[in-house]
């Protein structure tokens, strides 16, 4: 049975110090303790150093989650049964374990992060054009143990111009901004499960497959079943909300232009799965936490057609030092209509 939460105001600490046996005549000023912080025995015995529930006011929780030092020692398991009652007022803390919870290319995340990503992809032999490319900035901002926002900003997208097809010309411009509220359902040392809603906004142009408004809810997982092996994946749907006959004709030239190749012109089922193994330790002098992996992505139409896209992406990730990481991957379409022959993706990530 869990013990009740203990409020420890600063004044009470002073009084206890004065009344304690053998206390010196001159009162000692205790270390300041925020009155609103609650230490609870629900996660373990705080005196024994095991994980405890550290509750803060909303402003402190958000501030510590976004800008405070990362404190893995404050992490404790969270269950789906306490989704509405715990974790919302606890600062984000990275989970311990044999394998790190880190982003990979072209896969479901399934875990919370505090990091930003510079991403560049180069697609060869795009139908209706020559080559295509995408430069993006991703940002993950946790507000607590239970909630974070993902920001996916395609600041430059170059793809075949639907108004000039099949001339081979590309239209280059800003893509569709996607914002993703993410909720942590459950987490233990060996797994994490999240619920996510990717909200795509029409900040780009339909001429190169953008200008799409869509909702993509999904459930994702991250698991470390044995040794340093990691299995991760997700399942969800994508539903466009601003589809018109005119825009659909333009989007048809670049149907797989969304985040992680989610489609623009039709409703789809989206399934992702990836497997990899970390080969080097975190303190390796070179190529720390090196992991090769294989990611699979499937998108199949649910709105009356039979469009299906399936690709495989072998990739890798390793540390560069000072919380910087390098990633690379080669996406190979297997089932079409194929949006390109192959696509090279490179990323540079910084944990903060």
Mind giving me the DSSP string for 46-75? GGGT---EEE--HHHHHHHHHHSPP-GGG-
pLDDT tens digits along 301-325 = 998 677 899 999 999 999 999 999 9
User: Using CA atoms, how far apart are residues 39 and 72, in angstroms rounded to an integer?
Assistant: 16
Across the range 131-139, mean pLDDT stands at 96
Residues 162-180, mean pLDDT to the nearest whole number: 89
Confidence class of residue 14 from pLDDT cuts 50, 70 and 90? very low
* CATH superfamily assigned to domain 115-351: monomeric porin ompg (2.40.160.40)
Q: What is the mean predicted confidence (pLDDT) over 181-201?
A: 97
Whole-model pTM: value is 0.84
Question: Residue 138 corresponds to which tokens in the numbers above?
Answer: 């991703």
Query: Domain limits of the chain?
Result: 6-70, 115-351
**Residue 34: pLDDT over 60:** no
Distance CA(319)–CA(241), nearest Å, equals 40
Question: Average pLDDT of 4-24?
Answer: 39
The string of pLDDT tens digits covering residues 238-286 is 999 998 888 888 888 888 887 777 888 889 999 999 999 999 999 999 9
| Rg (the chain; Cα; Å) | 24
Read off the pLDDT of each residue in 147-154 and give the average, rounded to a whole number.
Answer: 98
Q: C-alpha 143: how far from its chain's center?
A: 13
Instruction: Please answer whether residues 255 and 264 qualify as being in contact, where contact means their C-beta atoms are separated by less than 8 angstroms.
Output: yes
């Amino acid at each position: 049975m869990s013990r009740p939460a203990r409020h420890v105001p600063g004044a009470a600490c002073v009084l206890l110090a004065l009344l304690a046996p053998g206390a010196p005549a001159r009162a000692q000023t205790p270390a300041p303790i925020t009155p609103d912080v609650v230490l609870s025995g629900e996660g373990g015995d705080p005196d024994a150093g095991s994980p405890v529930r550290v509750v803060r006011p909303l402003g402190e929780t958000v501030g510590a989650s976004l800008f405070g030092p990362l404190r893995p020692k404050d992490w404790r398991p969270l269950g789906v049964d306490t989704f509405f009652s715990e974790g919302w007022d606890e600062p984000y803390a990275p989970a311990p374990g044999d394998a790190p919870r880190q982003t990979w290319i072209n896969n479901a995340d399934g875990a919370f992060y505090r990091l930003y990503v510079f991403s560049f992809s180069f697609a060869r032999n795009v139908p209706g054009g020559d080559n295509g490319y995408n430069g993006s900035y991703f940002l993950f901002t946790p507000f607590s143990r239970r909630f974070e926002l993902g920001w996916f900003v395609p600041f430059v997208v170059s793809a075949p111009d639907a108004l000039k097809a099949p001339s081979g010309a590309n239209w280059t411009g800003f893509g569709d901004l996607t914002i993703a509220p993410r909720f942590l359902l459950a987490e233990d040392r060996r797994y994490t499960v999240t619920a996510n809603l990717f909200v795509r906004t029409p900040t780009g142009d339909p001429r190169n497959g953008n200008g799409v408004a869509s909702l993509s809810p999904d459930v994702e997982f991250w698991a470390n079943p044995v040794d340093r092996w990691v299995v991760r994946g997700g399942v969800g749907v994508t539903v466009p909300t601003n589809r018109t006959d005119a825009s659909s004709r333009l989007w048809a030239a670049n149907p797989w232009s969304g985040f992680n190749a989610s489609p623009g012109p039709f409703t789809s089922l989206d399934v992702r799965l990836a497997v990899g193994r970390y080969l080097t330790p975190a303190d390796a002098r070179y190529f720390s936490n090196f992991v090769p992996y294989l990611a699979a992505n499937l998108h199949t139409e649910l709105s009356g057609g039979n469009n299906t896209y399936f690709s495989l992406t072998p990739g890798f990730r390793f540390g560069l030092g000072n919380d910087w990481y390098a990633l690379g991957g080669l996406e190979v379409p297997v089932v079409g209509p194929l949006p390109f022959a192959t696509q090279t993706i490179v990323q540079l990530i910084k944990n903060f």
